Amino acid sequence: MASNQTEAIESRDKQVKQYIVVQIGSEKYGIDISYVDNIVRMQKITRVPKAQPYFKGIINLRGEIVPVMSIRKKMGLEDDVITGASRIIILKIEDKGSLGVMVDAVNEVVNLTEDQIETNNISSSHAKDTFINGIGKNGDQLISLFEINAIIDEKDNV
Amino acid sequence: MDVSQYLEIFIDESGEHLQTLSDCIMELEKEPDNKDTINEIFRAAHSLKGMAGTMGFKRMQHLTHDMENVFQEVRNDTIKVDSQMIDLLFKCLDAIDGYLENIKASSDEGEEDNEVIIRELNNFLAKAEGKEPAPQETPQEAPREEAAADDADNRKYRKIDLTDSERDAVMTAKDSGLHIYGITVIIRKDCLLKAARAFLVFRAVEEIGEILVYRPSSQDIEDEKFEFDFSLYVGSPEELDKVIFAAKNVSEIEDVVGEELTDFSAKDEEKGQTKPAAVAAETKPEIKKPEVKKPEAKSQAPAKKPSGGKPATSRTVRVDIEKLDALMNQVSELIIAKNSLVSIGSTEEGGFNNQGFHEQIEYLERITTSLHESVMKVRMVPIESVVNKFPRMIRDLSRSLNKKMELIMTGEDTELDRTVVDQIGDPLQHLLRNSADHGLEDTAVRVQRGKPEVGSIFLNAYQEGNNVIIQVGDDGNGIDTEAVKGKAIERGIVTQEQADAMSQKEIIDLLFMPSFSMAKKITDISGRGVGLDVVKSNIEQLGGDVEVRTKLGVGTTFTVRLPLTLAIIQALMVVVRDEKYAIALASIANIESVPVTDIKYVEAKEVIHLRGCVIPLIRLDRLLDIEPREKDPENLTVVIVKRGDSQVGLVVDDLMGQQEIVIKSLGKYINGNKLISGATILGDGEVALILDVNTLM
């Protein structure tokens, strides 16, 4: 963490983007913070029959109905295991409304400058890679950065 | 003057006037000599012109003005109403409607001058003038002219010849330090009691000054011996604005123009001169004139274009003041109830169990229910606004199809939620066109079949429980199911065997399939195949449904069923395993406890035989992909839902009871799910899904 902060100070005048780092399985993923409206604890999700399989259902977020998606299912991973660390990230997307995304845990918020983001070496051989538009290098940890549009996109990668 | 704030009112009212015009012209076509209708038309056209002028829509004003002139001639009996004229008038209405649409979209009337229509209108006028000179009023206002000229026309006070005694009076007043103003008051043409209005103007003006000169004389004005304007010289210590304002405050006054007069000796010389010179001469000494001219130009001078590109206007609902009063009363009661609860909470210990508390809760419940009803009522508008345009449409269709037909409408005052009313227009229009084009036979065929020559198309609207029913039908040929079958087979939609096994209803349902048109030839009226399927999906979007009844040779009736309200409904909450679902109470027929042993099978499907009806059973758990129970209990709880005549029994685990629920959308992400029409949040914060049982039947 200490190195993070020094890095953040060093790169203040460069293009800095903030990402929320979440845990999905063993991998770390980053979500652009400008899309994130809220992070809520796991709560009762009401199943919606006949919905797309990657939709877990809907929740009541302060009187609003918000659909919740399993990013694991959308990426073709095994089903979620809900633990005390599980969270729902509420994304706010213009003209489509709010969308909840289930993650295993929320780790931290990192600042990444442009040169810390690798965009070249993204192979598209594996289906789930299409959800990622870059890899952030934060010290020795690597963070896959989500392409939000791919997450909300209708196309089914399961 | 910035008029953009009036834009919405303008659009609303213009729409109303257009509707009135259309209705009246239809009437006029039937009875060309009805004076009342002609007067009504004249009034509407005149108001329309005035409003367009005020808002600065010159083209629209020009067109309405010319149209008004024609009506004027009709009113004066110089032109006879004929079908050619009616056609032209309808063309005018369409053109004005076009302007209005442009204004709605962009706050601007657009560039179309509609010169052809204007020329035709003028031809009519010319014809009339060939017979006898046009009456005075017509040339009196030429709104197309520049504001100044128009103005000058109205500034009749400039032309007043003073008698000696009047000049003395004026001079005396001037010497005593009063400002002398000449004003001309123009009364609206539809004003009924001109003398009374004039009297009110006198009284208002005399409160702040003294009237020195009347033109015509005060006696003549009292006897209504004047056209639509009169002029005054007023001596007043106040400013001109105030005098004009006082006069304008009287209702049914079209306009008041005026200026301060200073040079009375010059009057005599100017007298004989031509008008423009007089204007020039008088403009010079005026200091005030330029600034007063703007506001006084209220209806004559073209006002500025609305500033800025204010986009499409927001949707509004006109609300009866009584409805708002009821709303206000209920809110006051709500506050009283809240206060009572507060006082119980603060004065009594453990008060939550006492009787007063429960009474207040009940009271609160009553108020919220009636509050809900009132708010809903505020959103309700009669379907009149939509169906009013149909008689005109049928008339046009009658001409273009060369079939005789008439439209009979009932229940135009049936009320529906504003959002529903807005969207129901197109589907209804389509059904009517359908009836006119496909439904009704050609006149010759009708005569041959012994039917009345004039085909009737009907539109009946009425309320039934929580639904509004709109029936659209005709006494025409009916749907030839054999022909539909043939067409379906030909198109490869069904096979011969399938078609043979189809019930009458199933065949008719084929008509609602996308791009299934029965028209033998494609006309601009129907037959393009974008038809009934669109109607159906539009209506379903509104939470309604459509049914068809037809009898070959006798006629066809489409029955559109629409929910009265959106947003909040009464629902029955049911439980299936650990999931909760809401079913709209309006679609529930009854609830039965059915012993498992009573279940019978028809075509391997579960049915129950109940009071003479065979009702198919649907297991909600299977339908909703819930793990089935290992073993059925002895008695099944069956909720019987209905749509029209069809019924289905839904097997649920348990009932939770009736509840008022607020419908929330599932959002744009989750789709492909017609069965779930929305979700609602229960009292404990849990989310329950709303089942749209209509999709099950």
CA-based nearest residue in chain A for residue B621: A49
* Residue B686 to residue A44, Cβ atoms within 8 A: yes
Residue window 55-74, chain A: list those with CB within 8 Å of chain B. 55, 58-60, 63-67, 69
* Spatial CA neighbour of B527 closest among B436, B424, B413: B436
- Among A46, A95, A156, most B C-beta atoms within 10 A, so best to mutate, is A46
* Residue B672 to residue A51, Cβ atoms within 8 A: yes
pLDDT of residue B640: 93
Overall average pLDDT of the B5-25 stretch: 81
Residue window 324-383, chain B: list those with CB within 8 Å of chain A. none
The one-character DSSP state at B133 is P
* Residue A60 to residue B624, Cβ atoms within 8 A: no
How many residues are there in chain A?
Answer: 158
Output the domain CATH number for residue B660: 2.40.50.180
User: What is the sign of the dihedral through the CA atoms of A25, A31, A33 and A34?
Assistant: negative
pLDDT of residue A155: 58
Catalytic residue among B40, B68, B415, B547: B68
Say which amino acid occupies B610: L
ipTM of the complex: 0.81
Tell me phi and psi for residue B88, to 5 degrees. -65, -40
CA-based nearest residue in chain A for residue B662: A63
Annotation says B68 is catalytic: yes
To the nearest whole Å, the CA of B673 is away from the closest chain A CA by 6
Q: Is A156 on the interface with B (CB under 8 A)?
A: no
The residue among B513, B532, B563 that closes a domain is B563
pLDDT of residue B79: 75
| Whether the predicted pLDDT of B298 surpasses 90 | no
pLDDT of residue B615: 92
Q: Which two tokens stand for residue B403?
A: 């079939």
Overall average pLDDT of the A43-72 stretch: 89
Q: Has residue B233 been placed in a domain?
A: yes
Tell me phi and psi for residue A104, to 5 degrees. -70, -35
Q: Is B673 on the interface with A (CB under 8 A)?
A: yes
pLDDT of residue B263: 67
What's the rounded Cα separation, in Å, for the pair B350 and B632? 46
Q: Has residue B308 been placed in a domain?
A: no
| Whether the predicted pLDDT of B280 surpasses 70 | no
CA distances from B20 to A17, B13, B38, B486 (A): 61, 10, 11, 46
- Do residue B176 and residue B209 come from a single domain? yes
- Do residue B358 and residue B432 come from a single domain? no
- B278: pLDDT confidence band, cut at 50, 70 and 90? very low
- Do residue B116 and residue B235 come from a single domain? no
Output the domain CATH number for residue B117: 1.20.120.160
CA-based nearest residue in chain B for residue A49: B624
What's the rounded Cα separation, in Å, for the pair B424 and B81? 34
The one-character DSSP state at B664 is B
Overall average pLDDT of the B446-456 stretch: 87
* Spatial CA neighbour of B173 closest among B247, B217, B233: B233
pLDDT of residue B483: 82
Could you report the per-residue pLDDT of B659-691, keeping only the tens digit for each?
888 888 887 788 766 788 888 988 788 899 998
Overall average pLDDT of the B353-371 stretch: 79
- Among B669, B691, B696, most A C-beta atoms within 10 A, so best to mutate, is B669
| Whether the predicted pLDDT of B289 surpasses 70 | no
pLDDT of residue A19: 92
Task: Provide the percentage of residues in chain A whose pLDDT is more than 70.
Answer: 82
Cβ-Cβ contacts under 8 Å between A and B: the total is: 71
pLDDT of residue A30: 92
Q: Is B664 on the interface with A (CB under 8 A)?
A: yes
- Do residue B83 and residue B117 come from a single domain? yes
Q: Has residue B316 been placed in a domain?
A: no
What's the rounded Cα separation, in Å, for the pair B535 and A143? 51
Overall average pLDDT of the B649-656 stretch: 92
- Do residue B352 and residue B286 come from a single domain? no
Q: Has residue B430 been placed in a domain?
A: yes
- B519: pLDDT confidence band, cut at 50, 70 and 90? low
* Spatial CA neighbour of A149 closest among A104, A94, A109, A102: A94
pLDDT of residue A102: 93
Most confident of B237-241, B485-489, B508-512, B594-598: B594-598
Tell me phi and psi for residue B378, to 5 degrees. -60, -35
Catalytic residue among B17, B46, B179, B438: B46
| Whether the predicted pLDDT of B576 surpasses 80 | yes
pLDDT of residue B78: 76
- A90: pLDDT confidence band, cut at 50, 70 and 90? very high
- Do residue B404 and residue B516 come from a single domain? yes
* Better-scored residue on pLDDT, B205 or B283: B205
A-chain residues near B681 (CB < 8 A): 60, 63, 65
Tell me phi and psi for residue B116, to 5 degrees. -60, -45
In our burial notation (b when 16+ CB lie closer than 10 A, e otherwise), range B463-489 reads eeeebbbbbbbbbbbbbebeebbebbb
* Residue B668 to residue A97, Cβ atoms within 8 A: yes
A158 CB-near residues (< 8 Å, 6+ apart):
A53, A54, A73, A74, A76
Q: Has residue B586 been placed in a domain?
A: yes
| Whether the predicted pLDDT of B523 surpasses 60 | no
Give the relative orientation of helices B35-55 and B58-75 as an angle to the nearest 10 degrees. Answer: 160
Of B125-134, B247-256, B277-286, the range with the lowest mean pLDDT is B277-286
CA-based nearest residue in chain B for residue A154: B669
Nearest to B681 among A48, A60, A96 (CB): A60
What's the rounded Cα separation, in Å, for the pair B438 and B478? 9
- Do residue B283 and residue B335 come from a single domain? no
* Better-scored residue on pLDDT, B278 or B556: B556
Overall average pLDDT of the B532-547 stretch: 79
| Whether the predicted pLDDT of B620 surpasses 70 | yes
* Residue A52 to residue B665, Cβ atoms within 8 A: no
pLDDT, mean over chain B:
76
| Whether the predicted pLDDT of B287 surpasses 70 | no
pLDDT of residue A122: 58
* Spatial CA neighbour of B170 closest among B263, B52, B55: B263
Q: Which two tokens stand for residue B22?
A: 């259309």
Q: Which two tokens stand for residue A37?
A: 């409206």
To the nearest whole Å, the CA of B573 is away from the closest chain A CA by 15
CA distances from B411 to B63, B428, B461, B680 (A): 34, 14, 5, 33
The residue among B538, B563, B588 that closes a domain is B563
pLDDT of residue A39: 93
* Better-scored residue on pLDDT, B198 or A73: A73
- Do residue B35 and residue B89 come from a single domain? yes
| Whether the predicted pLDDT of B251 surpasses 80 | no
| Whether the predicted pLDDT of B398 surpasses 50 | yes
The residue among B532, B563, B594 that closes a domain is B563
pLDDT of residue B310: 37
Say which amino acid occupies A83: T
- Do residue B399 and residue B496 come from a single domain? yes
Place of tokens 């009517």: B432
Q: Which CATH superfamily is domain A2-152 in?
A: CheA-289, Domain 4 (2.40.50.180)
| Whether the predicted pLDDT of B270 surpasses 60 | no
* Better-scored residue on pLDDT, B349 or B309: B349
| Whether the predicted pLDDT of B169 surpasses 80 | no
For chain A, domain boundaries: 2-152
pLDDT of residue A33: 92
User: B568-576 and B600-602 as β-strands: parallel, antiparallel, unpaired?
Assistant: unpaired
CA-based nearest residue in chain A for residue B666: A65
- A32: pLDDT confidence band, cut at 50, 70 and 90? very high
Overall average pLDDT of the B106-129 stretch: 75
- Among A40, A44, A52, A60, most B C-beta atoms within 10 A, so best to mutate, is A60
- Do residue B326 and residue B421 come from a single domain? no
- Do residue B30 and residue B97 come from a single domain? yes
| Whether the predicted pLDDT of B130 surpasses 90 | no
Tell me phi and psi for residue A124, to 5 degrees. -110, 25
Could you report the per-residue pLDDT of A100-156, keeping only the tens digit for each?
999 999 999 999 888 888 876 655 555 445 788 888 888 888 898 888 888 887 655
Q: Has residue B313 been placed in a domain?
A: no
| Whether the predicted pLDDT of B410 surpasses 60 | yes
pLDDT of residue B86: 82
Overall average pLDDT of the A53-71 stretch: 89
What's the rounded Cα separation, in Å, for the pair B77 and B96? 25
Local structure of B27: helix, strand or coil:
helix
pLDDT of residue B290: 40
Q: Is B175 on the interface with A (CB under 8 A)?
A: no
Annotation says B434 is catalytic: yes
Q: What is the tally of structural domains in chain B? A: 5
SS (H, E, C) B58-105: HHHHHHHHHHHHHHHHHHCCCCCCCHHHHHHHHHHHHHHHHHHHHHHH
pLDDT of residue A58: 93
Nearest to A65 among B579, B667, B675 (CB): B667
- Do residue B124 and residue B273 come from a single domain? no
pLDDT of residue A46: 92
pLDDT of residue A91: 93
Of B19-33, B128-142, B588-602, the range with the lowest mean pLDDT is B128-142
Could you report the per-residue pLDDT of B203-226, keeping only the tens digit for each?
777 777 778 777 777 777 777 777
B636-639: Cβ within 8 A, 24+ apart: B636/B593, B636/B594, B636/B595, B636/B596, B636/B599, B637/B591, B637/B592, B637/B593, B638/B591, B638/B592, B638/B593, B638/B594, B638/B608, B639/B572, B639/B574, B639/B583, B639/B588, B639/B591
- For B415, the domain range is 383-563
Overall average pLDDT of the B234-247 stretch: 78
Residue window 576-615, chain B: list those with CB within 8 Å of chain A. 579
